[in-house]
Structure 1
Amino acid sequence: MPFPAPLTGVIPPVCTPLTPDREVDVPSLLRLVDHLLDGGVDALFVLGSSAETAHLTDRQRAVVVESVVAHVAGQVPLLAGAIDMTTPRVLDHVAYVTRAGADAVVVTAPFYTRTHPAEIARHYRLVAHRSPVPVVAYDIPVSVHVKLGPELVLELAADGTLAGLKDSSGDLAGLRAVVAGVRTRPALTEFSALTGSELVVDSALALGADGAVPGLANVDPAGYVRLDRLCRAGDWDAARAEQERLCALYGMVGVGDPARMGASSSALGAFKAALHLRGVIACPATAEPQVPLTQEEREGVGKHLAAAGLL
């Protein structure tokens, strides 16, 4: 499906189900895609952070994008992450995922080496020049250790380099600055400003964001679609209540013991445990070297699901 301008609504960053021996579980992946589509989502984003892309081999990334493209068959737009350390490696991913059928690519700033804003701008311009589909910037400073400033994003939007922004920085004021800048530039009406937060979707939409890319939407896609539609209808009281229910559900990401695992192990382990408990995926395994949840921690996830009305 052609990339809409702007892209709006709920775009889950699709998790990557794995088998016990840590290969891509394609049947579970396709059940998850159907679960998301049945929930009414507006687009899908594969090979993002919630997909554990940093842990997947190139072969596994290919399995994911090929399987999902074939299964979705144009029902909704499909965004694919082209996430890697340097411009040449990103361009390799762009070439592959677009040949496979992705409708847009999602790209972070370069990482590992320290970069200057001029180098980041050059990176995006080189990628956009070679990409046959729109490029969406992915602002995730916790992972790449640099923040995409609003001025840089608007500059790259104005010259046609960027078609959108997925803001996972947690900086709502920065997202507001991008949205306000787009609003004052008539030429940017097709730019998509998306929040990557699970917790402030109502706030982001209220300030003018176009949509949301929440990892928790893997678990409760219908809840985030409901929240999005309530916001668009201007029913802010009902939207706030739904957002607060989802915030409580998001508490599952803290079930892992911080004395023995990182936040990513806890959060992604919780999402996968929830999908397993809901009967969507066959196995809750996360990619190595992430630490798996214990049985007690998985039971804690189940309590969050029950409290949210999902079990």
Structure 2
Amino acid sequence: MTTASALTGVIPPVSTPLTPDLEVDTGSLARLVDHLLTGGVDALFVLGSTSEVAYLPDGHRKVVLETVVGHVAGQVPVLAGVIDTTALRVLDHARVAAGAGADGLVATAPFYTRTHPDEIAVHFRTIAARGGLPLYAYDLPVSVHSKLGTDLVLELAADGTLAGVKDSSGDEGGLRGVILGRRDRPEIDSFSVLTGSELTVDSALWMGADGVVPGLGNVDPHGYARLFRAAEQGNWVAARSEQERLLRLFQLVHVGAGRMGMSSSALGAFKAALHLRGIIDHPATALPQIPLNADEVARVKEYLATAGLL
């Protein structure tokens, strides 16, 4: 759900279906959006890590944005990843996102360049001032090599630069620090704190997080919606049970481990699962990722069957 104060709920980072020749499969993408909406999600995040944004050329990004925003037609908010190395490049993507009708922007700290926290602050303030849409910070140190410090996040929330943060840092103490800092500063109670750690969602919600951005939510949006609603109602036993079921299902991301990198294994497994469930036409991943083989796809199928998803 979306309240006047914050974006909340289940906000999956939408996978990007591709054709065998690696163009955007718009028909499959529209079906995936329908699958997510039917699953009870509260918003969509396109062009994030699970969307393979780092692998997609600008033309593909534009097709994804226009397809999703057009198909959603205002049913839920759509956040657009505008991830790139530095602020001026990010602003190019922001203009496309605004033109497509996105409801908000998601950006990481700058990367490739070595940056200081003051430069990271300039980066986000520049995007917020010129981007024309609410801006959400994506804390992803494993990819951008900068951790967004609690004080910096709260400072950017307080001055109106950031509408929220997606914390994929794995630093649960840091996440809690942001939640507590917001609680102590009523002027930023509209700041949205979202966890990207999809295996500890019940814990994050109990601490006071507003929602989750789960890659596995592509495969099982209903499960994450059930988890969130249980937590919202204070039924922590049900929330924990659903989280534990999703944790077991999440093991499918490791089917290619040892033969390929985690991106190839995890994103390939998500797409294999969506293909096996009849939601997308092809499980292709963008180059240079390595595709899953038949044995690995068979293991994904076993995880789906165990989870009751086939």
TM-score range, shorter chain: over 0.9
Please report how far the alpha carbon of residue 79 of structure 1 lies from its aligned counterpart in structure 2 after TM superposition.
0.2
Cα separation, 2, equivalents of 1:152 and 1:264: 29
Asked if residue 299 in structure 1 is aligned to residue 308 in structure 2, the reply is no
Question: TM-score scaled to structure 2, two decimals?
Answer: 0.98
Measured after TM superposition, the shift of residue 198 of structure 1 is 1.3
Counterparts of 1:120-131 in structure 2, within 5 Å, are 120-131=120-131
Q: Quick one: distance in 2 between partners of 1:152 and 1:46?
A: 25
Distance 1:226 1:239 in 2: 8
SS in 2 for 1:137: strand
Paired position in structure 1 for 2:232: 232
Map of 1:17 onto structure 2:
17
CA distance in 2, matches of 1:291, 1:133: 36
In the alignment, which residue of structure 1 is the partner of 2:260?
261
1:203-218 aligned within 5 A:
203-218=203-218
The answer as to 2:217 corresponding to 1:221 is no
Q: Which residue number in structure 2 is paired with residue 288 of structure 1?
A: 287
Name structure 1 gaps, 5 residues minimum: none
**1:75 and 2:75 matched:** yes
1:159 corresponding residue in structure 2: 159
Change beyond 3 A, Cα 1:66–1:4: farther
- Structure 2 counterpart of 1:243: 243
Is 1:112–2:112 an aligned residue pair? yes
TM-score after normalising by structure 1: 0.98
CA RMSD of superposed structures (Å): 1.1
CA contact under 8 A between 1:3 and 1:134: conserved in structure 2?
Answer: no
Q: Percent identity?
A: 67
CA contact (8 A) 1:219 1:275 kept: yes
Gaps of 5+ in 2: none
Match of 2:139 in 1: 139
Mapped contact 1:3–1:104 kept (Cα < 8 A)? no
Alpha-carbon offset, residue 42 of structure 1: 0.2
| Count of equivalent residues | 310
Please give the alpha-carbon distance, in whole angstroms, between the structure 2 residues aligned to 1:301 and 1:249. 9
Q: Give the whole-Å Cα distance in 2 for the aligned partners of 1:25 and 1:197.
A: 28
- Measured against aligned partners, the alpha-carbon deviations of 1:85-122 in whole angstroms (never above 9, x if no partner) come to 01110010111101110000000000001100000000
2:277 aligned partner: 278
Partner of 1:88: 88
CA shift for structure 1 position 257: 3.5
Q: Deviations over 1:199-220 (max 9, x none)?
A: 0000000000000000000000
> Could you tell me which amino acid in structure 2 is paired with residue 157 of structure 1?
A
CA distance, structure 1, for counterparts of residue 23 and residue 296 of structure 2: 23
Please show how residues 18-97 of structure 1 align to structure 2 within 5 Å.
Answer: 18-97=18-97
Alpha carbons 2:255, 2:299 under 8 Å: kept: yes
Specify the SS of the correspondent of 2:309. Answer: coil
Question: Counterparts of 2:155 and 2:275 in 1: how far apart (Å)?
Answer: 43
Q: Deviations over 1:175-202 (max 9, x none)?
A: 1000100011111111000001110000
Over 3 Å counting, the alpha-carbon distance change for 1:121 and 1:113 in structure 2 is same
Shift of 1:47: 0.4
SS of the counterpart of 2:50?
Answer: helix
CA drift at 1:5: 3.1
Cα deviation, residue 3, structure 1: 8.6
How far apart are residue 2 of structure 1 and its match?
A: 8.9
> Whole-Å Cα distance in 2 between the matches of residues 32 and 255 of structure 1?
23
Q: How does 1:173-188 map to 2 (within 5 A)?
A: 173-188=173-188
Cα-to-partner distance string for 1:53-75 (whole Å, 9 max, x where unaligned) = 00000000000000111100000
Matched letter for residue 14 of structure 1: V
Q: 2:222 & 2:102 partners in 1: Cα distance?
A: 24
Cα distance in 2 for partners of 1:83, 1:165 equals 14
- Measured against aligned partners, the alpha-carbon deviations of 1:12-58 in whole angstroms (never above 9, x if no partner) come to 00000000011100000000000000001000000000000000000
- Structure-2 change in CA distance of 1:265 and 1:228 (3 Å): same
